[in-house]
Structure 1
Amino acid sequence: MLSEKSTATVRATLPAVGAAIGDITELFYGKLFTAHPELIRDLFNRGNQNAGLQKQALAGSIAAFATHLVTHPDTRPDVMLGRIAHKHASLGVTREQYPIVHKYLFEAIAEILGDALTPEVAEAWDEVYWLMAGALTTIEERLYAEQQVTAADVWRPWTVAARVEETADCTTFHLTPADGSPMPAFKPGQYVSVQVELPDGARQIRQYSLSSAPGSPIRSITVKRVHGPAATGPDGEVSNHLHTEVRTGDTLNVSTPYGDLTLQDTTAPLILASAGIGCTPILSMLEHLADTAHTAPVTVLHADRSPADHPLRTDHRALTHKLPDATAHFWYETNTEPGDREGRLDLTDIPVAPGTHAYLCGPLPFMRAAREQLITKGITPADIHYEVFGPDLWLASA
């Protein structure tokens, strides 16, 4: 809980800090990576940094956390904190890194705000930072303990048992522990981090959802190759490396599983909605529902450019058919086949039962549109759960 004195100061300065937070975070990252180049080489996503996405996500999370502290002083934004903590845990972030971030963040704040950063203002925002850092480290250390790892030891070598070309741009990698040890447990919808060494020596990390169910004898990730300008630069460097360089029998460094978009045990009706490569956590959920003889109604929704671009399309439909009370609706912009729907996701004629829980994964515009339609159909906002691949820009773009 923020102190009474700091609450008043943060409330008064929030508009000014919020207006400058983009400049603050940009300067912060410049200072941080100049002093610690190993962080941009081996920890932070270089593609997201180049595109400015990480800056937007950090700015959004700081502003949202501070706003919550002054508007809801008796609670914490645990959903936001949990999402960040899961991502940090998948990267092996340590408690010792938070003072480093604090140093360069507050240097950036001082430079951008200038004389407006009085000792009183600095003290109040310092309190905000350490409240957020303390909450995150507590959650992260609990996550490490649950997986029986330490922050410095989240990685294990996994062997590529097989690779399957799903579409022109998507490949599935089936993985098994290289040392034959038991596979760590995970929940349907969670992801792992994959660390690869690139030609320039950088050890870049990306997150990929597990597309297999917890009961599967192997672990599977399906990776979409990033095209466009990113294909020759940092935005697509890991996906392109996996597609072009990694073959059956190769070894990958893979983290223990994390992620807060997990299928909850429920007898409520479910909607599982995805677009593009966002279908991967949905496939894990569907397989788990089939494995556990789920009997409640399930509505499966997916949108893509065409049937040929739909990753794991056959599995998506087959797993739906394994459930006794499930239907699938697929939308494609081109080349629709009999039984498919044309265009973008449109729930106008999709029945939604009272008490339905919805899980969404895909590009942010898709999830915003799906969420709005689901709320219009009567689903409670608290029962709509989502996953964003990459920095969570939902708050930053709100």
Structure 2
Amino acid sequence: MKRSTDKTWVDAFQQRYSVRERIFLFYMFFFAGLAVLTILANLASGFDFSFNYKWMAISGFCLALGLLAIKRIKTELVHRVGVYTLSLVILPASWLSSAGLMSPSMVYSVVALLLINFLLAGIERIALNAAFLGVNLALISLYHFQPGLFRTLSAEEQFLDWMVNIPMLFVFTALLLATFERAYERERMVNIEKTKKLAALSRTDSLTGLQNRRHLDEDIEERVRDCRDKGTPLSIIVFDVDYFKQFNDAYGHLQGDECLQTIASLLREAALRSGDKVYRFGGEEFLILLKDTDQAGALAFARRLKADIETAAIPHEQSAVAPIITASMGIATGQPPEVEGQTLLDQADMALYQAKASGRDTIVCFED
């Protein structure tokens, strides 16, 4: 049970904070913790308490920024204050107050370099990288020309300093890279999934859930190529709900939407084969693509669909042909190799026009 709760807390934390925000928190609490450990080590070693003032300031500064970041108070400003202060003030000051190149202080610059490049972008990133490089080169030069400004460590002190700090830095860097590499990968996969969903939504009719005209334009050419390659016919049925404007006027747009959703459901149930596709073509107009289907097969499909609609018996007292919803359909069939997508659409549309002109509630097949 505890494991499940922990996982839920971690998931909630990851959902609340972006990767950049989590990196910043990771850094602030690491440096705050490092400062606290150094204070404890100084106390245990019997150093003068004045050695701890610097570390107390660093710990308080990092904790304060970490808490502001957790509460998401002016996040961008907090990030910049943290990055600039850490790289241009705290680390150089720590380096100056240490044993210079005899201590691992300079190695911490690599850790700060990661933070700069994780959080900043563009010209700002380039500028701070350049400034940070200049500061570090200046510190190295200062150590070379003025070594007396820095503390002197015995061989044993230097050994202990490196043995404590280097493993800590290695572990920190390894955890940072491993944790956030996975985080970036997760976000990348989430973004890919969102992109796919957005692409699907852009090709899906929001009311009926059917594919829309944009998707049809992409699919029809693929179906035509498949038809030519296999040497099989391709049929299109253009389908129009009779007197739908009068239905909307009489029953209201909400009932009109429900009517279209019912029709869409009947179309989905009728187009059972994997290669058959249904689209919302216009307001009350639908289109069915039937692969490997000749005119006789398309006509049989249309008749079954017409019967299904009559069975649904959606009331339509304002219709001029029946007291229930009916439909007019136009069918066009192409035979390879002459079949063309746009030609088939035009032919099916002409057949639908003939069906509506002849009184509606009927099916017409296009004939040359």
TM-score, normalization by structure 1: 0.20
Q: Which has the higher contact order (CA 8 A, sep 6+)?
A: 1
Question: Between Structure 1 and Structure 2, whose CA radius of gyration is higher?
Answer: 2
TM-score, normalization by structure 2: 0.21
More helix by share: 2
